[in-house]
Structure 1
Amino acid sequence: MSTYDYVIVGAGSAGCVLAARLSEDPSVQVAVIEAGGPDTAQEIHVPVTFAQLFKSELDWDLDSDPEPGLGGRRTYLPRGRTFGGSSSMNAMIYIRGNRADYDSWASAGATGWSYADVLPYFRRSEDNERGEDEFHGVGGPLTVSDGRSGHPLASAFVEAAEQAGYKANDDFNGETQFGVGRYQLTQRGGMRCSTALAYLHPALECPNLTVLSSARAHRVVIEGDRATSVEVERGGTVEVVRAEREVILSAGAYESPKLLMLSGIGPAAALSAFGIEVVRDLPVGQGMQDHYMALLNFRTDVESLISAASPENAALLQSEGRGALTSNLAEVGGFFRSRDDLEAPDVQFHAAPVLFHQEGLGPVTEHGFAFGPCVLAPTSRGAVTLRSPRPDVAPRIVHNHLTTAEDRDCIVAGIRIALEIAAQPAVAEVATGTFDAPESDAEILAWAKRSGQTLYHPTSTCAIGAVVDPELRVFDVAGLRVADASVFPTVPRGNTNAPTIMVAEKAADLIRGSGAAAPR
């Protein structure tokens, strides 16, 4: 049995941050258990190629159960299985969410999680190339930069949205989210800046940090009322990794609740049905939220990203860190309201200068572009439950996309905004026809159910107030915390990687018993 002070499960977006921050104290020993291996694949680091990782050995390659709101259709759920986790295969968009998200968390009982409370952690993590201001930090591990592609098809979307009357916004993480513009990205010199690159690799120089790779966590061992260790399978052998101080689950919104349930922490009736001894009866896995997106695809004669892999673009990437190979696909987008009475956006757009259809798995054999909305503040709730007591079996996942009238109204309103933008001169000048889009107003909802997909933002399966307290400690189990997107009480209004990093930064201080460092 190997023994450490802290044992972190998952070297993903949160786990890498925790590994780096906790190992800053040379007096403690830190271990990270990661099911995948090192992030050496070229497709991780060259931004435009990230979708080539889908269904590869670096992808957990999950599927939902039949979704009742989508006519029983199953949806594809990619998740990173390598150092950096999903920050090593996402679209690198740096969005924090809306002030209203965090203030609503705090008002509902998540003490210490208001916007004023979390902003210092966003700033502490960030090294924004634009410099420091009220909202942004410099000198942090995570490089945040403007995109280096500037594809004309992406620019056409922004121009068309402005022609439709929507205002330009050059900082979606600033004073307001509303408007259209270019996303800032977690890139460094035109290449991906995952949490593995930003946090984990520098920390590996510390002698007190150990990463157990290609190691699958089976369960947390609970002795009495305390978590004492993690049972791990590595190289065909099951071993126990002991934590003298704490076990911290950072395995993500699908895997963290699964591990808790396999450890006897979860809905009692469901655990008993699998013969799992109930340690604590908690609503683990319940209340899941995610963003549902529907992208309209158009044909074009303009050169798209399907020709990005040219010798000229490779040379441009190597020499200047810019060009088509630096594209994150969703280069631009915006935030909108579906109704005039809303104070915060409920629709987010992503626009890509390439066809993106069939959940990103469809063949791309011609030039095209895509843009469309997601339901940004969903009212639907899903669940992660066990399929089997075997740790190597994927859980059951149901998001319940579009099962509420509010969410259906929102996606329809968002698609109507998309069609309005598509009718503007800037898009009409580059589109040569429809590749995949609703053919009539009456077909919008049916099309959205048929052609939509997850935006890869699962959250809230171990939520603050339900499963963990505001210090992220699992209720009534000493020495056990959860620190990843599963603790969000609700899904934030935006891409979830930056909020997940924030949670880990704050969790590190909660674990160490300190407050956030003064913003730099």
Structure 2
Amino acid sequence: MLFDYIIVGGGSSGCVMANRLSANGSQVLLIEAGPDFPPNEIPDDILDGNPTRAYYNQQYQWPSLTAAVARDGNRRVHYEQARVIGGGSSINAQVANRGGPADYDEWASTGATGWDWEGVLPYFRRLECDLDFRDHLHGNSGPLPISRADKGEWSGFVNAVSTALEDENIPFRPDFNGEFRDGHSVVPLTNLNRRRVSAAMAYLPESVRARPNLRILSETTVVRLTISGRQITGVDTESKTGRQSYNAPVVVLCAGAIHSPAILMRSGIGPGKVLSEVGIQVVADVEGVGKNLQEHAGVAISAYLKPSDRMMPTSTGYIQMHARYSSGHDGCPPTDMAISVLAKSAWHPVGKRLGTLNFWVNRVYSTGTVSLKSSSHLLEPEVNFDMLSDERDTERLKSAFRFVAKLINHKALVHTALDPFPSTWTGRAKRIGKYNRLNYGLTSFLASLMDSSPWLRRSLIRFAITDGRSISDLLNNDDLLDSFVRQNVFGNFHPTSTCRMGFAHDPNSVTDPTGRVHGLSGLRVADASVMPFCPRANTNIPTIMVAEKLSDAILHERARR
């Protein structure tokens, strides 16, 4: 079967590519490993503006994908990566941050020519229909609606955090995508009328799906690329109905920062020595494939909230406030740290009683790797984030813990955020976070105990939620704090940079500024893996921007021909 373009991966970038490349009549095949949901069949948990049900639904995830988190933490976890049409945009918190101009100017300076702020802004504007701002920074006619909850919906907890941030010279800024300085704000969301709008909903509506030249193939895994010499010719796939090959002069990888490099390596494109060791014939020795993996490394502090300070059931979104601030650490740029403020920490009754300050390193320097354990597509790649391997990240995260501990003891919060404690994203918390009746019953019982008496609540926090260490324990012992952040650091599900754009002579570079893989024809990568480094933002909107810009590059090249 011959197509003009084959797009591998129906996540945020793949949905953009399928829309844009099929708009001019080109024959396009979109292949997604997970389920597809047409507009009239989208499940309620995906549509829900509160993401906690969809996020915990294992039907939408790669079930056996695990990752080593930090070098000194000795911890391997299930890594929640979406496997569903729309990708992460179908299960995430819908945060629509862009990052700052300096991120993209630095991208350009490292070899991603044309990806400076002036070069990317038109594509940020192109993707969005901002419902709140109309100026040169915002788009108002794109497919993806961007809305913001009103400050009037903030809970008592979030309002108290706002007061504390103001006193720390982190002022309120109405537009988080327009003022790129330290500040806190209502969160821009890919949300309309309190309902999620995923990339699949925005870019693959009924009118696009009706195009006779677009075919969507779901629940189909791309085993490897097919290659003739240095020319990519198509893909080999596997599904419930068996093996099938599809051909096209151009294949666009949109499988994400973990699976795009894995597909390249299974196809013989990657570090030659490593591929040979797992029995894969080397087609192109591209040393940077799978390297430079980045994630926003974070930890959290939570507290019990009185009923009057909790999130209202009718409130928009999940994260009610986002803040960024500058660490002042040597060699680190401004706004290099971030805080998300949640007045509800999970879907279940215990989560509804807990407010959380989730803070992370917004401009990371640690890098990890994606590699293969085997040549088989049935075995997930080896993922090692190596978070906090760069000492700048470790020291800033420890400093952030001290800062947030100070913040939560501010006079505005001391009677609102009760019995604060260091939060951990442990196996226990993950198990309870799964959406089912058993967990609802268990957390209902625990919540009633927390409400019954301060003494019982503190005992539950100490012995059932934490590992027994308090915030003051960690603040008073730097070795304990260091151990805590290394053992409990978690990512924000923002993996990037494993096929990074850059100069052809740079051994860590995999793609050029148009997404072409160095040394090969007919192959592009167009997802978060091409980002030179993780921007200071949640990565969904930057990923959609990347796909918009690269789809434009592909179409312009076709027009020239």
Pair in the same fold by TM > 0.5: yes
Q: Secondary structure at the match of 2:245?
A: strand
- C-alpha change, 1:343 and 1:388, in structure 2 (3 Å) is closer
The 5-angstrom pairing of residues 138-153 of structure 1 reads 138-147=140-149, 149-153=153-157
Matched, 1:223 2:232: no
- C-alpha change, 1:32 and 1:446, in structure 2 (3 Å) is same
Q: Secondary structure at the match of 1:364?
A: helix
- Residue 98 of structure 1 deviates from its aligned partner by 1.4
Q: Secondary structure at the match of 2:324?
A: strand
Unaligned runs of 5+ in 1: 314-322, 516-520
Given that 1:303 and 1:367 are in contact with CA atoms closer than 8 Å, whether structure 2 keeps it comes out as: no
- C-alpha change, 1:335 and 1:32, in structure 2 (3 Å) is same
Matched, 1:409 2:417: no
- Residue 354 of structure 1 deviates from its aligned partner by 2.0
Match of 2:97 among 91, 95, 98: 95
Question: How many Å separate the matches in 2 of 1:365 and 1:371?
Answer: 13
Given that 1:300 and 1:433 are in contact with CA atoms closer than 8 Å, whether structure 2 keeps it comes out as: no
Match of 2:34 among 19, 33, 36: 36
- Residue 372 of structure 1 deviates from its aligned partner by 3.0
Question: How many Å separate the matches in 1 of 2:281 and 2:309?
Answer: 55
Q: Deviations over 1:390-418 (max 9, x none)?
A: 11211100011111211111101211221
Question: How many Å separate the matches in 1 of 2:373 and 2:155?
Answer: 44
Given that 1:75 and 1:453 are in contact with CA atoms closer than 8 Å, whether structure 2 keeps it comes out as: no
Q: Secondary structure at the match of 1:240?
A: strand
- Residue 41 of structure 1 deviates from its aligned partner by 2.1
User: Where does residue 388 of structure 1 map in the other structure?
Assistant: 374
User: Where does residue 316 of structure 1 map in the other structure?
Assistant: none
Based on CA coordinates, which of the two structures has the bigger radius of gyration?
Answer: 2
Q: Deviations over 1:38-57 (max 9, x none)?
A: 24221111021435532511
Question: How many Å separate the matches in 2 of 1:303 and 1:62?
Answer: 41
User: Where does residue 489 of structure 1 map in the other structure?
Assistant: 532
- Residue 163 of structure 1 deviates from its aligned partner by 2.9
The 5-angstrom pairing of residues 242-321 of structure 1 reads 242-243=247-248, 245-282=249-286, 283-302=288-307
User: Where does residue 468 of structure 2 map in the other structure?
Assistant: none
- Residue 295 of structure 1 deviates from its aligned partner by 1.1
Given that 1:464 and 1:470 are in contact with CA atoms closer than 8 Å, whether structure 2 keeps it comes out as: yes
Matched, 1:349 2:349: no
> Greater CA deviation, 280-289 or 411-420?
411-420
User: Where does residue 109 of structure 1 map in the other structure?
Assistant: 111
Given that 1:332 and 1:351 are in contact with CA atoms closer than 8 Å, whether structure 2 keeps it comes out as: yes
- Residue 363 of structure 1 deviates from its aligned partner by 8.6
Given that 2:69 and 2:489 are in contact with CA atoms closer than 8 Å, whether structure 1 keeps it comes out as: no
Given that 2:70 and 2:486 are in contact with CA atoms closer than 8 Å, whether structure 1 keeps it comes out as: no
- Residue 268 of structure 1 deviates from its aligned partner by 0.6
Unaligned runs of 5+ in 2: 424-470, 503-508
- C-alpha change, 1:179 and 1:45, in structure 2 (3 Å) is same
User: Where does residue 78 of structure 1 map in the other structure?
Assistant: 80
Runs of 4+ in 1 over 6 A off after TM superposition: none
Q: Deviations over 1:364-384 (max 9, x none)?
A: 366111003201111111000
Counterpart of 2:240, as a letter, is: G
Q: Secondary structure at the match of 1:256?
A: helix
User: Where does residue 17 of structure 1 map in the other structure?
Assistant: 16
User: Where does residue 339 of structure 1 map in the other structure?
Assistant: 328
- Residue 62 of structure 1 deviates from its aligned partner by 5.2
Question: How many Å separate the matches in 2 of 1:91 and 1:42?
Answer: 15
> Greater CA deviation, 150-159 or 95-104?
150-159
Given that 2:17 and 2:551 are in contact with CA atoms closer than 8 Å, whether structure 1 keeps it comes out as: yes
Q: Percent identity, aligned pairs only?
A: 35
Question: How many Å separate the matches in 2 of 1:263 and 1:281?
Answer: 11
Q: Deviations over 1:67-104 (max 9, x none)?
A: 44342112332111111001101111111111111111
Q: Secondary structure at the match of 1:287?
A: coil
More helix by share: 2
Q: Deviations over 1:268-298 (max 9, x none)?
A: 1111111111000112101111101111111
TM-score (normalizing by structure 2): 0.84
The count of corresponding residues between Structure 1 and Structure 2 is 492
Counterpart of 2:484, as a letter, is: W
Given that 1:154 and 1:352 are in contact with CA atoms closer than 8 Å, whether structure 2 keeps it comes out as: yes
Question: How many Å separate the matches in 1 of 2:377 and 2:389?
Answer: 30
User: Where does residue 434 of structure 2 map in the other structure?
Assistant: none
Given that 1:257 and 1:462 are in contact with CA atoms closer than 8 Å, whether structure 2 keeps it comes out as: yes
Question: How many Å separate the matches in 1 of 2:520 and 2:201?
Answer: 33
Given that 1:94 and 1:184 are in contact with CA atoms closer than 8 Å, whether structure 2 keeps it comes out as: yes
Given that 1:147 and 1:190 are in contact with CA atoms closer than 8 Å, whether structure 2 keeps it comes out as: no
Question: How many Å separate the matches in 1 of 2:127 and 2:24?
Answer: 18
Question: How many Å separate the matches in 2 of 1:460 and 1:78?
Answer: 18
Q: Secondary structure at the match of 1:295?
A: strand
Q: Deviations over 1:170-210 (max 9, x none)?
A: 21211324211211101112111110010012421212111
Q: Secondary structure at the match of 2:61?
A: coil
Matched, 1:422 2:420: no
Question: How many Å separate the matches in 2 of 1:478 and 1:33?
Answer: 20
User: Where does residue 457 of structure 1 map in the other structure?
Assistant: 494
Q: Deviations over 1:316-374 (max 9, x none)?
A: xxxxxxx23x42x2221211111177552110111111236xxx9x9936611100320
Match of 1:209 among 209, 214, 218: 214
- C-alpha change, 1:121 and 1:68, in structure 2 (3 Å) is closer
Q: Secondary structure at the match of 2:357?
A: strand
Given that 2:68 and 2:386 are in contact with CA atoms closer than 8 Å, whether structure 1 keeps it comes out as: no
Given that 1:160 and 1:426 are in contact with CA atoms closer than 8 Å, whether structure 2 keeps it comes out as: yes
The 5-angstrom pairing of residues 349-388 of structure 1 reads 349-355=339-345, 364=350, 367-388=353-374
Match of 1:434 among 420, 428, 452: 420
User: Where does residue 320 of structure 1 map in the other structure?
Assistant: none
- C-alpha change, 1:462 and 1:23, in structure 2 (3 Å) is same
User: Where does residue 318 of structure 1 map in the other structure?
Assistant: none
Given that 2:82 and 2:91 are in contact with CA atoms closer than 8 Å, whether structure 1 keeps it comes out as: yes
Q: Deviations over 1:17-67 (max 9, x none)?
A: 0101111102x1111000111242211110214355325111114554444
